[in-house]
Structure 1
Amino acid sequence: MTVTVVTFVVVTIAVTMAGAASVIGKRETTEDYLLASRSIPPWLTALSTVATNNSGFMFIGMIAASYRVGIETVWMMLGWIIGDAIAWWRLYPRLRARSGAAGTITVTAILATGPEGPRRSLVVAASALTFIFLGVYAAAQLKAGSTALHALFDWHPATGVMIGAVIVILYSFAGGIRADIWTDAAQSAIMFVSIVLILTAGFLEVGGPGKLATQLQALDPALLSVWPENMTFGPVLFVAGFVFAGLGTLGQPHLMTRLIAMDHTSGIRHARVFYFLWFVPFWAACIAVGLYARAVLPDLSGLPGTDAVPDPTELALPLVTMELLPDIFVGLALAGLFAATVSTADSQIILCSGVITQDMMPRWRENYLASKLATGAVLALALTVALMAPETVFDLVLIAWSGLAATLGPVLFLRLFRYPMPSGTGLAAMAAGLAAVILWHNSGHDDAVFKALPGILAAFAAYAAIRWVHTVRKRRQPIR
């Protein structure tokens, strides 16, 4: 255990220092704090984006989901990757080009600004939604990171949340978004090495796919079912829901900010190659780890520490790591988990602080100190949610992701393709998307069709309906 603790502490400090070292290149400007002066090379953009995208959702949520339901989670992976790939090919180049041409720092500013000038009401609404949902998202990351400390030291999850919050402040004040991106590069290597080590250990313990399938069949035949039982609306809509989740990446400001921070638009082509070479095998490996964890530890209830978390399956990764790996590698894997989640929380909190100073309170736009104070305020919100919310990491991430995908995503899409966006129309589209996500989440059909699909479709439908009404009224006006 001593070796595990030492390894964990050393690796955590090393990764934290990698971010803190970004102070070497920082400038005392708001644009540098929020966008790293648009100087990030494509390969680093890709590693940072994929590490931020994965972090706690993959390490905790996705592995837990695979542990619970089995191989059917592969449909989430396939659908999500298809949607994400479409966005990388068709949408992200437009986003980077639009941001560079307009000199905008935040995604909300791009969303709310067109040829007719900025729409103040859209800026405020988009900023408020970003603040709320990214605050929830950051809280999920802090909760995910705390599981590593809970499993390793048997600390109460609240202690891990507080430690994560302290490290977030160190990252933020050291170098802003540049600190996150530098840290993400180190995390990417650690995350991949960790998941490969765990997967290899599972293979050696259980055997290859055939033996794994035999064990899972004995435990619960449903774990090998390709399709879930409750597909109320059929397999096409089931998979389409996850495709829309992937497309909803456009509405995630913490990810889009990394693309805006890239040094040139043409780098998108190279960045997406690095991105998918990392993203696809890592996600597949996380699903496999969840299945091996179920075979190695078929019942998590009653194991040390499981009574302190809302869902014991979200401790599947830390517990199987400690079961299968030597102490030194346990420390490495859990440090990678902790660092990944904290850095993701930091990027979301910095993004929220940018929304406050750049969009909601534009008089603070050039105030470097105000950006840091706003970071502290947003962290306080995330900390409160992390300590008080009863939901699991998986649920919190999917709620926040869907909310942003269905509100910011459609309006930003229409803006990138230069569709007219009157304030009332944009607000109605965001309201429709948000209402659809909330209603679908509480409808009981969320497992049959992921809530991002009805949310995004509702937003586009609201926009189309209002524009149609506007066109009809315009045609009926008498010619003078």
Structure 2
Amino acid sequence: MIIASFLVILAIFLIVGLASARKATGERTDYYLAGQSVSPWLTGLSAVATNNSGYLFIGVIGYAYATGLSAIWLMFGWIVGDYLGSTFIHRKLRKATGVTEEASFAAVLSRWHGDDFATWRRIAAVVMVLFLGAYAAAQISAGGKALEGVLDIDPRLGAIAVAGMIIAYSIAGGIRASIWTDAVQSISMLVALIILCVVAFADKGGIGGAFASMMPLDDGRYMNLWPEQGELVGTGGLAIVFFVLGWLFAGFSVVGQPHIMVRFMALDDEKNMQRTRFWYYSFFVLFYILAAGLGLLSRLFLPELGDTELALPRMALQLLPDVFVGLILAGIFAATMSTADSVVLSCSAAITHDLTPERLEHPYLLKGATAAVTLGALGIALAGSQSVFTLVILAWSTLAVAFAPLLTLYALGRRVSEMVAIGLMVGGVAIALFWRYVLEWHGGIYEGLPGIVIPLVAGWLLSRPATRAERANGVIEQPAE
């Protein structure tokens, strides 16, 4: 019954994705931006499904299992940071996309002020291919972990299944298929989390009974609201401030994620951004509350769990009838696919639109690039050994420091030269990697904080204010040749 219900729900995802092909025109802007015709509710649900991926179902729940109540600060910082970025960046990016008539994230940034930062765009494409590929591999790996956790079979089979479905509907309908399936997947993810959360709390005597059972765990430390220490800044209030501030910058890092921002670029009208944000943050808050709650509850049901990233599927097996276990498994697959297909398409756009000497326009070449990227990510997933949580944070922070400083400067009305833009991107990546691998300070302060702040300050000093025309139009029209 588990496999039957799982396959039925997956079939629904696949049918929805393939149905989107009926609206496909084959053009580059349609394949990568759905012709900028996506409604606010679809944009919001697609963006939240893309953001709340296997990282939420596998990584965050496992993190809450391991660290306890202090994991709530991850949720608080991430959502607040994300919201702050959305207040002044998303709408301007959508406007710039319309004016430049470009189809990729890097191309829009490279021509924001009417220039053509060709060298910057190609370096950006390399960064995207490397780290979006790692990101896609993490999501595909999460699908394999889900299958292992529920059916106790080789996780490589789950990874192959995720990759196969992505190739099938992404090639058929491009980003429109991704967005349509994201909306269905958002709903299935929410239903799956609610069902398991309600059953788990009921089994422990309600919210009060569950929290009372958690209080003695780890000699009372498990339900401590504040993290015990920061590896860089020691203990006490300063450690807590940097801990929360680090996750706030992790949330702000959304503006540097091409696979998420492209959703807002595809919105039908920049004036609908407020409605889009309503859908996005409503689902976002619900997802994180439910995931944090399940992470804590799983410690009661699975006290000796070896791999914490299997907490959700193992708890579903323990508490739910088979038909609902299949729903949970499908929900996890939905989470992984909703991000993996988005990442794959953004990576494909970087190759066909930004990296190659001439832009590839033929539909077969666009689809071939998508298939190649998916298979490459699958290869990384099958060979990799890092956890989903670690791999996502690494890819997330690197993309953030590469693109968030420049996009933030543009949104604040600043203009830079191409050499400065290259310096901000390369410098941000270098700072983040040095922070993580040489100084090893990422445990105390998220590497995206220095990787964004330092280039942002430097960029502000090396930039100039935009002219009145630039502020009014968002970008300067390309001069006639």
1:205 aligned partner: 203
Contact 1:67 1:293 (C-alpha < 8 Å) held by counterparts: yes
Structure 2 counterpart of 1:235 = 240
Q: SS in structure 2 opposite 1:224?
A: coil
Give the number of equivalent residue pairs.
Answer: 456
Alignment equivalent of 1:135, drawn from 128, 133, 136: 133
In structure 1, what is the equivalent of residue 276 of structure 2? 271
Q: 1:97 aligns with which of 86, 95, 98?
A: 95
- The offset of 1:175, in angstroms, is 0.4
1:317 lines up with 2:312 in the alignment: yes
Q: Aligned partners of 1:384 and 1:172: how far apart in 2?
A: 18
Q: 42-51 or 276-285, which moves further after superposition?
A: 276-285
Shift of 1:334: 0.5
Following the alignment from structure 1 to structure 2, what is the Cα–Cα distance between the partners of residues 287 and 115? Answer: 42
Query: Which stretches of structure 1, 4 residues or longer, exceed 6 Å deviation after superposition?
Result: none
Gaps of 5+ in 2: 465-481
Q: State the 1:435 CA deviation.
A: 1.4
Shift of 1:255: 0.5
Q: Is 2:150–2:314's contact at 8 Å kept on the other side of the alignment?
A: no
Q: Does 1:153 align with 2:158?
A: no
Partner of 2:214: 216
Listed as ranges, the matches of 1:432-447 within 5 Å are: 432-442=427-437, 443-447=439-443
Q: Deviations over 1:351-385 (max 9, x none)?
A: 11111111112523322221111112212321122
- Call closer, same or farther: CA 1:188–1:116 in 2, change over 3 Å: closer
Match of 1:188, as an amino acid?
Answer: S
Comparing 447-456 with 214-223, which one deviates more in the overlay?
214-223
Q: Distance in 1 between matches of 2:32 and 2:147?
A: 29
Q: Shift of the alpha carbon at 1:234?
A: 2.3
Write out per-residue CA displacement over residues 255-305 of structure 1, whole angstroms, 9 at most, x where no aligned residue.
11111111110110100011111111210110000111111111113xxxx
- Superposed displacement of residue 444, structure 1: 3.3
Pick which of 201-210 and 173-182 moved more.
Answer: 201-210
1:352 aligns with one of 347, 363, 369: 347
Q: Within 5 Å, give how 1:14-413 maps onto structure 2.
A: 14-115=12-113, 117-220=115-218, 221-231=220-230, 232=233, 233-301=238-306, 312-361=307-356, 363-413=358-408
Determine if contact 1:230/1:447 at 8 Å carries over to the other structure.
Answer: no
What whole-Å deviation, never above 9, does each CA across 1:69-118 have from its counterpart, x for those lacking one?
01111111111111111122211011101111111111101221243511
Residues 88, 411 of structure 2: 8 Å contact kept:
no
Match of 1:457 in 2: 453
Shift of 1:129: 0.9
Conservation of the 8 A alpha-carbon contact between 2:409 and 2:460: no
Structure 2 Cα separation of the partners of residues 374 and 132 of structure 1: 15
Contact 1:219 1:298 in 2 (8 A): no
**Residue identity matched to 2:371:** G
Distance between the aligned counterparts of 2:415 and 2:88, measured in 1? Answer: 20
Residue range with higher mean Cα deviation, 45-54 or 446-455: 446-455
Q: Which amino acid is 1:68 matched to?
A: A
Distance of 2:315 and 2:120 partners within structure 1: 47
**Which letter maps to 1:338?**
F
Once superposed, what is the RMSD of the aligned Cα atoms? 1.5
Partner of 1:304: none
* Farther off after superposition, 342-351 or 214-223: 214-223
Distance in 1 between the 2:357 and 2:28 partners? 12
1:464 CA displacement: 4.3
Report the AA paired with residue 368 of structure 2: L
Q: Percent identity?
A: 38
Q: Taking structure 2 as the reference length, what is the TM-score of the superposition?
A: 0.92
| Counterpart Cα distance in 1 of 2:452 and 2:228 | 25
State the shift of 1:439 in Å.
Answer: 1.8
Secondary structure of the 1:27 match is coil
Q: Which moved more, 1:52-61 or 1:412-421?
A: 412-421
Deviation larger for 286-295 or 420-429: 420-429
How far, CA to CA, are the matches of 1:115 and 1:216 in structure 2? 55
TM-score by length of 1: 0.92
Residues 258 and 116 of structure 1, relative CA distance in 2, 3 Å threshold: closer
The answer to whether the Cα contact below 8 Å between 1:12 and 1:336 also exists between their aligned partners in 2 is no
